[in-house]
Structure 1
Amino acid sequence: MADAEGLQRISAGTDRDKSRATIVEQNLSRMVDRGLATEEIKSALDRGKIDVESVRTAAMAAPEEMLGPAEAALRRLVEPPVLSLDVLGSARISVATLALAALRALPRHPVIAAIAVAFAVSVIWDGVTATWSQDARGAAATISLLIPVAMYFGLKAWNRSDEAAARRSHDEDVARLLAEWQQELLDKGVLPVLRALVNNRLPAPLRIVLNVVEAPALDRPTDATTITPTSSIRRFQEIAGRMHGGTVGIAGPRGVGKSTLIAHELNRDPAPVKLFVTAPVHYEARDFVLHLYACLCSAVIDLVCPRRTMADLRSAQRRLAASTAALAVLAATGAAAVWLTWPGRIFSLDLFGTTFHTGRSSTIALLFSAVVAVAALVMIPVLIAGLRRTRRRLLSQVSHPGLLTAIGLPARENLARIRFLQTTTSGWSGKLALPVNAEAGWTRTVQSAQRALTYPEIVAELRDFLASVVSAFRLFAPGCVVLIAVDELDKIESAELAQQFLNEIKGVFGVEGTRFWVSVSDDALAAYERRGTAVRDAFDSAFDEIVRVEHLKLADTLDLLRRRVVGVPEPFLDLVHCLSGGLARDVVRVARSMIGHGHPTNPPGLAAVCSALVEEDLRRVGHGLQVAAGRVPDTDDTTHYLRVIRSLRADPQELLDAARVLDGIAADTAVAELSALARQSAAFAYHDATLLELASVDLEAADAKAHLDLLADSRQALSAHPRLAVIMIDDFRTEFGLPPLG
């Protein structure tokens, strides 16, 4: 947690432009020290006899590398809401609340307190010693003054207590945001940099063994802040940063990290309105566009004024309006008191010589009533001004007051219209009875039914609203854009359905100041790259650019793992790359499994770890192959195939023999499905056999490193192109002096 002085400085909100630098200066070095003190880093430093200060200096020389993954959390801290209105949820701006607040405020105003007590005693005494008709004038005038006075001071007291509560809530929010940023900075920024620095300084091990048994960073799921910047990712960042509108497609095989890339760039992008929506597997274009429209409205509402805050604000405004109406009644009462006490009216008095039975002059009573009534009339505008100031204060606590009217309220109305078929009834009725028997009343009823919008109307409305959102924000920040990411379009059942879906929703693309990022399949990329030919399709015409996200290369895998685990010899990391195929998600999974085989006192070597990982791979993939074989016609070849799959063991020679048998089944069987499955299984067994043989090769040699990507690439080709995978493995084995399968 931050020190009290720093927290107070942040809470005060002064020098907002400098607050980011101030927060970073106060916390970054502290977080680096905390990272160096963790058991993981400390033990690695001790084991390698590495100078702590050199690591600290190197880390502090790259602040942006540490700050980048936690940038979104830092923005939330630097730009917190002005003040939260949550306190209004429990407050009631009513006569009772204000009266109670007034009573608490009286000790600070002794003169007013004395006058109020005198008035109260006078009214009680008059009630005891006089008839109602004789003191009606004074009582009415007195009450018409006392209530506004009480409400005025009560309102001031309520404002002070409300502001204090809001300030406490605000300080708590700032403290929470600061703690969240510090933790995110440590976990996702500082520790990865420290791990990489320590790994680079560790001396070469005398033995290639795995003595690391813990890697906390591998136990956390891969998220948008821990992305590895590959060449394709850098190209996407360059294109996304250059374009201020249009549609960019992100292509690549499943699991390569398209969703992680989109989420990462959404966190980094400074666009005020950012959406992340998922395309449906079984799509309905109209429903999806409605969902997109609703998400946009919700995002605008949350940004301009959080939904709970808007509800509190509307409730407070309604209560203020009710108080104002009550004051109008009090004003009428005061005016009536003046009118009634005027000579010649209903309660006519002789101004001279006539007294009540209490012995007081009617002249004095008349003057007293008139003064009190006039004072009441003077208090009314003062109190109404106080209510208006209170309303302005409430509005000032909205994050963006100007945007509230421009797009916040329209967004709320649009969201309600999207979700509901409305039937609204509203009304007000009142009665004011004066001594002259005057009455007034008013009522109003509205009934409305919303018809369902057609799909073209939905698209047109969404485009118009997008344009209005962009225009409204550009008044405050010229050049800003709205960013919408559509994920998992590549998971729609077939390329034809995905193409049809894209063709139906692309009507919302192309709004000025709006950027769309869409994850698509490799089919979309192929179609886009065929542009300029006679055949054009939805993929070609919908995108301004398409970027392909590739699998990780060996250097990328090493960089990713060195930021997540300390002290693992490089050959083990090479093994992880070849077994995972460079798929980021599988890299982390295989590395986590590998660490589970480490031992601090009796560490296993590379061959033992490789055998254990291959055994797990055979068991997992073999189960999937057996399930797939269950959908193949039951023949003698199928039975033979299943027996071979069930007998697979982590032995290189047995796997090579099994690969030859499976290749024979693929060539001999008349069942096409079994032939394809057996060919795929043969390539899989061949790959794992090669990996086991590789464990006895010196992987530290530079020429050996140059070919490891070829084996990883063959792993990627196993399912879609098993023949190509076998050829790639043959080429790899030739480079290492191993005989091909033949």
Structure 2
Amino acid sequence: MNDPEPAKAVWNRFDDELIYRDAVDRLHAEDTVLRGYLAQQHMTGVDERHVTAEFHREHVVAEVLASGYGEFEEYQDAVEQRDHAVAAYGRTGLSIRRLLLLIWLVTLRWQVSFVRRQWRTSLSAALAAQVGPVLRRLIGEDHNTLLVTPDILGLVEVHDLRYVVPHREQENLDAKMELMAGGTIAISGPRGVGKSTLLRDLAEKRRGDSNLVVPVEIPSAYVPQEFLLSLFQRVCEQFLAMHGRAPDSSFVFLVKLRKHILLRIRAAVSFWGRLLVAAALLSLALAPAARAMNRSLDGGVSGWLTRTWDDVWASAVQLWTDHPWLTRVPLALLGVGILVSLPRWQKKSPLLKKSPLLKECVNYLYLLRTAQSTSLATTTGLTPFSAGTVGAGRTTTLSSRTLTFPELVVHFRDLLTRMAKSGNGRVFIVIDEIDRIGTAEEARSLLAEIKAVFGIPNVYFLISVAEDVGADFVRRGLPVRDIIDSSLDDVVHIEPRTLEESHAILQNRVPGLTTPFIALAHCLSGGITRDLIRYTRRMVTIPGTGRNQLPQVAHALLWDELRETLAGFRVLLARADHPADWAQRMDETRLAVLLLQERPGDERTSLARDAVRRLIDTATPSASSAADAGPSLETRRQWDELGAYGDFMLTLLDFFGRENFPTLEDVKDAGTEWDLQRLAEARRELALSPAATRLALKRFREAWRMPDHSA
């Protein structure tokens, strides 16, 4: 490493150079990509000293200062004006002009301080943009083929919406909702493409602005009435929460508490009633004796009670007059405390007037969560002093019944309609997981049951459906009509991610991950977001074994993936019958799995590659006779898919496992047969046509002059 070129010519002031040096020092501690490369022990020439020297080269400093929006130029102009003002102020004597110059100088000093802070803020971003070019000059062209991942928090927090990159169809969805005053929009697409993430992100962005957002997930096994009942409750809870009233989930406890209070009141009334009756009877019986005792006493009992009361009252008056700190001051403090607590009591008072919708939501929650029962018992009887009892009794019981499905629909539609009209916002009901309840027929059955609550003004139902359900809606122009056409107002189809979108996703989740590794994860996943993150998570664990070069990472990742796929395929083989002439192909799968288990990721051996190639090249045996029909068509298709998958994996191994990986300019020619997007499309084509997959792979290999795997 040569010494850095002198950068003194760039700086006109020493203070500016100090600010730049301080920003470079902070870059070493704050930039996660740079920290990751500096932590690599095996990289010669990449240490803090060499990196700092590279950032102080004259052409690097010039590029950093020229970036941004001209903050450094504004700072230099402000400093120059301040210096001129200082010089003019020193040359001017005591006069009005000197006073004006002083005011101008104070203003210029404030301006210099402000633009200096702006430049210092922009300097960090400008230096971060130079990290890649600096590392490329230090490491060479191998910079992009080194796997360095200092920050993988985005792979750990998969469902964190901070790492979500908006899909290109999200603008289409927003535009459709703006042109609709309510309706039902389905989000369709392959599983794992990001439908649930799009719905969650949309729900978070629509919260506020008087909008009611109700996210709900449908269970795999459902009953339409129970699902609608649960959705009804969820809407009431969210409406109460939006207005600052936490929904009470302890209705059963309240019912028990109310019953307990009523029983205590009944017991108290019974006790005190019997006590008063007993006291009245005793008073009536003992009245003559009491009057005789009163006459025998001097002055009577009433006189004695009067004298006693007068003595107590006189003592209390004297205490009130002579000791105010013990009597009047505590009472005054108690009164002030009561006055201060009155607003709090009024706020917490359940008798406070509420809006009708809030009251109805509370009532609906009570109705939907509880089964009410009331009993009324009446007993009359006659019990004389003689033995024997004559009486009569009657008991009446009233109990509530659950709402029927039509009644539930009527009440729910009425509540949603009034909620949508209650403010300036809209109601968004986000129903997720419909594509996971089973087959497409079950999804159609669900839509047929719950479509009764669709079609309310300013109420939007956003639901995720499987790809085939969305395809049924696309065919609505044909003569055949089904429940999908009449249930949905529109469908937004989510396509798999392109290479550019996968690059944005992984750069956001794993800063510093270079394009070749992103392209490997993208091609292997086919642009499916869930698989993209899953393969990247597996990829970043490989450098822990001492392998961080692209060929090493590609071999380790692809061989492990191929081994797991072959092992899973052999499990499927046990479910089908195979004739004797299929023994050769069965043995090839066993041998390939064993080789991959013994030597995973070993790029120096061709044994595993040859075994996989023989598995690809082995033709499907044809049936020798009608009696020996061989495996079923489904089993034969699985064998074809396995052969195409093996061809796909070997193509990835040959392309990403080469020592001299193509430059970025070589892989950016979109629209040609050698564009990397073709590999991702071939991966998705496996589920549709193994033959078409092989044809796409053949064209890709021919474009890159790679050897063909066919026999």
Structure 2: distance between partners of 1:617 and 1:359:
99
CA contact (8 A) 1:577 1:712 kept: yes
Structure 1: distance between partners of 2:309 and 2:471:
106
Change (3 A) 1:394 1:216: same
Tell me, yes or no, if structure 1 residue 721 matches structure 2 residue 689: yes
Q: Structure 1, residues 114-153: CA drift from partner, whole Å, max 9, x if none?
A: xxxxxxxxxxxxxxxxxxxxxxxxxxxxxxxxxxxxxxxx
Change (3 A) 1:364 1:580: closer
How many residues in Structure 1 have an aligned counterpart in Structure 2? 516
Alignment-mate amino acid for residue 559 of structure 1: A
Alignment-mate amino acid for residue 366 of structure 2: A
The aligned residue for residue 375 of structure 1 is none
Alignment-mate amino acid for residue 488 of structure 2: F
Structure 2: distance between partners of 1:35 and 1:245:
50
Of residues 228, 246, 255, the one that matches 1:306 is: 246
Structure 2: distance between partners of 1:425 and 1:471:
40
Tell me, yes or no, if structure 1 residue 535 matches structure 2 residue 480: yes
Per the alignment, in what secondary structure is the counterpart of residue 598 of structure 1? helix
Change (3 A) 1:533 1:673: closer
The aligned residue for residue 659 of structure 1 is 616
The aligned residue for residue 288 of structure 2 is none
Deviation at 1:636, TM superposition (A): 2.8
Structure 1: distance between partners of 2:459 and 2:240:
18
Q: Which structure is larger by alpha-carbon Rg, 1 or 2?
A: 2
The aligned residue for residue 22 of structure 2 is none
Tell me, yes or no, if structure 1 residue 276 matches structure 2 residue 226: no
Q: Structure 1, residues 333-371: CA drift from partner, whole Å, max 9, x if none?
A: xxxxxxxxxxxxxxxx9xxxx996479699999x99xxx
Alignment-mate amino acid for residue 210 of structure 1: L
The aligned residue for residue 505 of structure 1 is 450
Structure 2: distance between partners of 1:405 and 1:505:
29
Of residues 204, 207, 210, the one that matches 2:146 is: 210
Change (3 A) 1:502 1:231: same
CA contact (8 A) 2:431 2:462 kept: yes
Query: TM-score, normalising length from structure 2?
Result: 0.62
The aligned residue for residue 469 of structure 1 is 419
RMSD: 5.0
Structure 2: distance between partners of 1:355 and 1:676:
109
Change (3 A) 1:510 1:709: same
Change (3 A) 1:663 1:196: farther
CA contact (8 A) 1:666 1:674 kept: no
The aligned residue for residue 607 of structure 1 is 551
Tell me, yes or no, if structure 1 residue 623 matches structure 2 residue 567: yes
Per the alignment, in what secondary structure is the counterpart of residue 373 of structure 2? coil
CA contact (8 A) 2:37 2:148 kept: no
Alignment-mate amino acid for residue 288 of structure 1: F
Alignment-mate amino acid for residue 369 of structure 2: R
Alignment-mate amino acid for residue 291 of structure 1: S
Alignment-mate amino acid for residue 623 of structure 1: A
Per the alignment, in what secondary structure is the counterpart of residue 231 of structure 1? coil
Q: Structure 1, residues 634-666: CA drift from partner, whole Å, max 9, x if none?
A: 433554443222333465554333211165679
Structure 1: distance between partners of 2:345 and 2:574:
67
Q: Structure 1, residues 146-188: CA drift from partner, whole Å, max 9, x if none?
A: xxxxxxxxxxxxxxxxxxxxxxxxxxxxxxxxxxxxxxxxxxx
The aligned residue for residue 590 of structure 2 is 646
Deviation at 1:260, TM superposition (A): 1.1
Alignment-mate amino acid for residue 249 of structure 1: A
Deviation at 1:686, TM superposition (A): 0.3
The aligned residue for residue 699 of structure 1 is 662
Change (3 A) 1:595 1:362: closer
The aligned residue for residue 239 of structure 1 is 176
Consecutive unaligned residues in structure 2, runs of 5 or more: 1-24, 39-45, 71-124, 259-263, 265-298, 319-330, 378-394, 602-607
Query: TM-score, normalising length from structure 1?
Result: 0.60
CA contact (8 A) 1:652 1:693 kept: no
CA contact (8 A) 1:470 1:514 kept: yes
Per the alignment, in what secondary structure is the counterpart of residue 531 of structure 1? helix
Alignment-mate amino acid for residue 694 of structure 2: V
Structure 1: distance between partners of 2:630 and 2:705:
33
Per the alignment, in what secondary structure is the counterpart of residue 542 of structure 2? coil
Tell me, yes or no, if structure 1 residue 289 matches structure 2 residue 228: yes
Alignment map for 1:292-371 (pairs within 5 Å): 292-304=231-243, 305-307=245-247, 357=307
Q: Structure 1, residues 194-216: CA drift from partner, whole Å, max 9, x if none?
A: 99968766643422543525433
The aligned residue for residue 684 of structure 1 is 645
Alignment-mate amino acid for residue 688 of structure 1: M
The aligned residue for residue 344 of structure 2 is 393
Per the alignment, in what secondary structure is the counterpart of residue 484 of structure 1? strand
Structure 1: distance between partners of 2:339 and 2:376:
25
Deviation at 1:390, TM superposition (A): 5.2
Alignment-mate amino acid for residue 575 of structure 1: L
Change (3 A) 1:234 1:58: farther
Structure 1: distance between partners of 2:183 and 2:337:
50
Of residues 699, 702, 706, the one that matches 1:734 is: 702
Deviation at 1:709, TM superposition (A): 0.9
The aligned residue for residue 19 of structure 1 is none
The aligned residue for residue 592 of structure 1 is 537
Of residues 407, 430, 451, the one that matches 1:457 is: 407
The aligned residue for residue 99 of structure 2 is none
Deviation at 1:592, TM superposition (A): 1.6
Deviation at 1:564, TM superposition (A): 2.1
Deviation at 1:251, TM superposition (A): 0.4
Deviation at 1:36, TM superposition (A): 8.4
CA contact (8 A) 2:526 2:680 kept: yes
Deviation at 1:415, TM superposition (A): 2.1
Structure 1: distance between partners of 2:488 and 2:482:
11
Consecutive unaligned residues in structure 1, runs of 5 or more: 1-32, 62-192, 323-348, 369-379, 428-444
Alignment-mate amino acid for residue 544 of structure 1: D
Change (3 A) 1:516 1:358: closer
Deviation at 1:507, TM superposition (A): 0.9
Q: Structure 1, residues 466-507: CA drift from partner, whole Å, max 9, x if none?
A: 1232233x0xxx2x0111111121223222221122112111
CA contact (8 A) 1:663 1:682 kept: no
